[in-house]
Amino acid sequence: MARYVFAVRFRLDPASGVRVEPATFETTLESEADPPGEDGWLFFRDNLWRGEANAPDHLRGLAEEALGVPVENVEYRRFETSEAEYEALKGAIADDLSQFNADSVSEVLNKYFASSIEVGRGAER
């Protein structure tokens, strides 16, 4: 399954009278990508720009919701996908280039992902 990979820094906020050390942790968050054509498949268009988060606060909020802890920072790292999923993504993009304001699939991929796509890793897990 294709997935978005993020670096996340979060902190524990213990109850009064409790202390933790360290209170801040860094981890990798992997989020499954919706297949092309399904609800949510345009996550990249709505959340990435040139291989980075276009609205870091929004992604931070999504990570907080998913993890259930206060998140201090989220950084987009890469999109991992299998060859078949990558071809399906490119096909779905090609079917409606107008929604991306682009003239080619490669322009769309560069516009949103830059060089952060790793083909061949999506099926490994």
How does pLDDT run across 64-105, given as a tens digit for each residue? 999 999 999 999 999 999 999 999 999 999 999 999 999 999
- Residue 13's pLDDT band, with cuts at 50, 70 and 90, is confident
pTM listed for this prediction: 0.89
Burial class of residue 73, CB neighbours in 10 A (0-12, 13-18, 19+): middle
Domain boundaries, the chain: 3-119
Measured distance CA(53)–CA(57) in Å, rounded: 9
Hey, what amino acid is at 2? A
Residue 42 scores a pLDDT above 80: yes
